[in-house]
Amino acid sequence: MPIFVRDNCFVLETPHTHYAFGVADGELQHIHWGEKCPRLDYTVPNYREEVSQHPASEFDKREYVPFGGTNYRECALKCTFSDGCRDTVLQYDSYTLKDDTLTVICKDRHYPLTVKLIYQVQEDSDVLTRSAEIVNTGNSDITLHKAASAQLHLPSRAPYTVLNFNGSWSTEFRKAEEVLTGGSVVFESRRGLTGHCQNPSVVFSQNATEDEGDVFFAALGFSGNFKISAERNFTGLTHAVIGLQDFDFSYTLHAGESFKTPPVYMGYTKGFAAMSHEMHRFAVEHILPVRFKNEPLPVLYNSWEATEFDVNEKDQLRLAKIAASLGCELFVMDDGWFGERKDDHAGLGDWFVNREKFPNGLKPLIDGVRALGMKFGIWVEPEMVSPDSDLYRKHPDWAYHYPTRKGNELRWQLVLNFTRQDVQDYIFTCLDELLTENDISYIKWDMNRPFSETGAENLENPQELWYRHTHALYSVVDRLRAKHPDVQFEACASGGGRVDFGAMHHFDMVWTSDNTDPVDRLVIQNGYSYLYPIKCMRAWVTDMNRTSRPTSLDYRFNVSMQGSLSLGGNLLEYTDEELKTCAKYIALYKELRPLVQFGKLYRLTNGRADRISMTQYVDKNRENSVLFVCTQPTTFFADRFVTIRLKGLCPDAMYRVQSSGEEFTASGGVLMHCGFHAKFTHAFASEIYRIKKLPEAQG
Ligand code: GLA
């Protein structure tokens, strides 16, 4: 059992770390998070300092700080009790220990409020899962204004570098780093969905590189409004609160009801590479939906960039024939097949086949795709409605709205009020019929705008919608999955607007970005790779920027093969030579796929600052590895020469290294420490190195 309870201390043990906290004066105080102290001789520190302007509460490390009293820091919990009191005083009460889960129970000193802090450990991982449950054990309402999933305390009083992944539509996952010397920093979404701007994750590090230094990370499993606030106070202590957004949020806990926060996945590692390895493996083993978690994802073709809304049976089949001949395993028809959907001005909500475009329904197209040996997938955007749609004309009140306000139509669409059961049932029925009547194996679930005018007359407390919408989304997806267990689901929100571990608990993969330019994509993929599993990272080879920034097909494949390879270009315009190139790389990817989708990823270079991108994958037994190299624009003679030092191999074993132009053998030790020489003479050059361990006898 990796959870120990000693005297007044709780210790969560993972293979390499300890997380410890204890009880002092009836309060839960954090003790330690980091490397293991094998003797477990932890004691609860005594922080009892106080001066007139700085009460004792500013010196300590409480596990879960409520609003009230002298708590001036960002709190984890804020409530209003029925008599108007907004002051919460939590006291340790008891704990339960069941298998891998420790639940620590705290109660308010006066009011009927119980807070359960839930900690989960897996024997095979350094990632802990935390969440909280707030229970109203009394007879009158309690209003929650904030209910975070966890409060984190970092061990050192020296400043930490705080890393988040920032961006915008088409520019997801840019690394944003700053040293937090004083004050606070907040990463959040107020948009109703995770969004592209900030990711619900945070990494704190000190003197860290890929291979060493202290790295503490946490990621929230939720696809709606979130808030992560980190603060370094005057004593040098850094702490953070991570969970649901409190902006415009409240939740009414009726007598006897409880509120569960989303989970936070958190861990401590030496270096960023170990963090990625831990989180990638944990996500596949413990977060992803079970059905497909251990299966490599199919190579898909998506029609969006080729045809946009102009879809019909004949043209889709022409594309499908080529895609199948190249080795694609799944054909996904994107937007445009339903309602009066000629462009993005109409049709969302009318999830019925457009009979002008498909006079005989979808069956002939799907049969055609199946006859070509591929599975068939389809695009939907179920949380949306176009004002120009039959659904909206019939049910204008189904969109979030205020009767006195005109709704902001972003992309000519409004957000459906998913907190209504009738809306959920309508969407479930439409999609259930679509899946029942057609041989569809894949749903791309899109979400193309943030919320606005968030009136929800159906809710007694409309401020609950931020929480309820996301859970309603999960619930509809889960219902569909239960009824159609062999269908795979992709989460998309104008590209990477829903990349988070909440989505990854209900969807099998994500669409990483609408930006499929390979040079930009290297940066986006690099940022994504820090926490999120490579398997889930859909990566299309397309023709984006083909004329403005031409890159070879080899280069484009090289970039997309670093994730879950997909195609999205207009294959009808490809030359025979180009089609041959596609087929060659798809075949190669199928060989490499288990290694890429399930291997350990090593970032040999890092993002835009480097003039070359080198990403290596190594399998579990350190027998097979692949290295993808892509150069960036450069004109300097001296920049042509590169020493490539691999990672993750067995130092004693011999390996064969094969690229397009050469083949040689060397020991893992030499390949990792001494490295090998390579020369790239032009911008946007690319190379794939395959590294294979030789049998002992040959070594
Ligand atoms: C979003 C998605 C794209 C595509 C379009 C269709 O932008 O990210 O991949 O599906 O919608 O309208």
Read off the pLDDT band of 632 (50, 70, 90).
Answer: confident
pLDDT tens figures, 289-300:
999 999 999 999
Query: Residue 635 pLDDT > 80, yes or no?
Result: no
CB 646 within 8 A of CB 691: yes
Is residue 495 lining ligand 1, measured as CB closer than 6 Å? yes
Query: Residue 419 pLDDT > 60, yes or no?
Result: yes
Record the tokens describing residue 484, joined without a space. Answer: 């159609």
Is residue 492 lining ligand 1, measured as CB closer than 6 Å? yes
In this structure, which amino acid lies at residue 346? A
Query: Residue 546 pLDDT > 90, yes or no?
Result: no
Q: Cα–Cα distance between 187 and 198 in angstroms, integer?
A: 6
CB 182 within 8 A of CB 155: no
pLDDT given at position 143 = 98
CB 575 within 8 A of CB 583: no
Q: Which residue has the higher pLDDT, 609 or 387?
A: 387
Mutate to test the pocket of ligand 1, among 300, 332, 446 (most ligand atoms within 8 A of CB): 446
Contact partners, residue 454, CB within 8 Å, separation at least 6? 192, 248, 400, 462, 465, 466
Is residue 379 lining ligand 1, measured as CB closer than 6 Å? yes
Distance between Cα 446 and ligand 1 center (Å): 7
Mutate to test the pocket of ligand 1, among 172, 304, 380, 542 (most ligand atoms within 8 A of CB): 304
Query: Residue 445 pLDDT > 60, yes or no?
Result: yes
Is residue 446 flagged as an active site residue? yes
pLDDT given at position 607 = 65
Distance between Cα 486 and ligand 1 center (Å): 24
pLDDT given at position 696 = 84
Record the tokens describing residue 229, joined without a space. Answer: 């606030």
pLDDT given at position 150 = 98
Burial class of residue 660 (count of CB atoms within 10 Å of its CB; 0-12, 13-18, 19+) = exposed
Q: What is the mean pLDDT of residues 206-211?
A: 97
pLDDT tens figures, 51-95:
999 999 999 999 999 999 999 999 999 999 999 999 999 999 999
Q: What is the mean pLDDT of residues 565-581?
A: 98
Is residue 172 lining ligand 1, measured as CB closer than 6 Å? no
pLDDT given at position 608 = 63
Considering the chain, what percentage of its residues have pLDDT values greater than 90? 95
Q: What is the mean pLDDT of residues 143-169?
A: 98
Full DSSP string of 294-337: TSPPPPEEE-HHHHTT---HHHHHHHHHHHHHHT--EEEE-S-S
Q: What is the mean pLDDT of residues 473-500?
A: 98
Q: What is the mean pLDDT of residues 151-161?
A: 98
Q: Cα–Cα distance between 104 and 91 in angstroms, integer?
A: 11
Distance between Cα 472 and ligand 1 center (Å): 22
pLDDT given at position 638 = 76
- Tell me how far CA of residue 236 lies from CA of 22, 51, 148, 694, in angstroms: 22, 17, 23, 52
Query: Residue 261 pLDDT > 60, yes or no?
Result: yes
Residue 173: left (phi > 0), alpha (psi -120 to 50), or beta?
left
Q: Could you list the beta-strand ranges (E) of 319-400.
A: 330-333, 375-380, 384-385
Is residue 80 lining ligand 1, measured as CB closer than 6 Å? no
Closest residue CA from atom 7 of ligand 1: 494
Query: Residue 699 pLDDT > 60, yes or no?
Result: no
Q: Partners of 91 in the beta sheet?
A: 107
In this structure, which amino acid lies at residue 269? T
Q: Cα–Cα distance between 464 and 145 in angstroms, integer?
A: 10
pLDDT given at position 609 = 63
Read off the pLDDT band of 1 (50, 70, 90).
Answer: low
Q: Cα–Cα distance between 650 and 653 in angstroms, integer?
A: 5
pLDDT tens figures, 336-385:
999 999 999 999 999 999 999 999 999 999 999 999 999 999 999 999 99
Is residue 334 lining ligand 1, measured as CB closer than 6 Å? yes
Largest CA distance in the chain: 80
How many beta carbons lie within 10 A of that of residue 178, not counting itself? 12
Closest residue CA from atom 6 of ligand 1: 335
Angle of helix 576-598 versus helix 553-560 axis, rounded to 10: 20
Read off the pLDDT band of 502 (50, 70, 90).
Answer: very high
pLDDT given at position 658 = 98
pLDDT tens figures, 89-110:
999 999 999 999 999 999 999 9
Query: Residue 637 pLDDT > 90, yes or no?
Result: no
Query: Residue 219 pLDDT > 90, yes or no?
Result: yes
Q: Cα–Cα distance between 185 and 163 in angstroms, integer?
A: 10
Q: What is the mean pLDDT of residues 681-685?
A: 89
Element (H, E) at 432: helix 421-437
Q: What is the mean pLDDT of residues 45-53?
A: 89
Exactly one of 246, 514, 517, 520 is catalytic; name it.
Answer: 514
Record the tokens describing residue 375, joined without a space. Answer: 């599975």
pLDDT given at position 698 = 65
CB 564 within 8 A of CB 538: yes
Is residue 514 flagged as an active site residue? yes
pLDDT given at position 548 = 86
Read off the pLDDT band of 616 (50, 70, 90).
Answer: very high
Query: How much helix, strand and coil, in percent to the nearest 5, is found in the chain?
Result: 25, 35, 40
- Tell me how far CA of residue 224 lies from CA of 31, 246, 421, 502, 546, in angstroms: 31, 12, 19, 9, 35
Report the chain's mean pLDDT, rounded to a whole number: 96
Exactly one of 446, 517, 520, 543 is catalytic; name it.
Answer: 446
Q: Give the three-class secondary structure for 165.
A: strand
Distance between Cα 292 and ligand 1 center (Å): 24
Distance between Cα 248 and ligand 1 center (Å): 29
Question: Phi and psi dihedrals of 152, rounded to 5?
Answer: -120, 145
pLDDT given at position 634 = 73
Q: Partners of 162 in the beta sheet?
A: 178, 204
Q: What is the mean pLDDT of residues 47-52?
A: 88
Query: Residue 631 pLDDT > 60, yes or no?
Result: yes
Q: Cα–Cα distance between 46 and 64 in angstroms, integer?
A: 17
Q: Cα–Cα distance between 100 and 102 in angstroms, integer?
A: 7
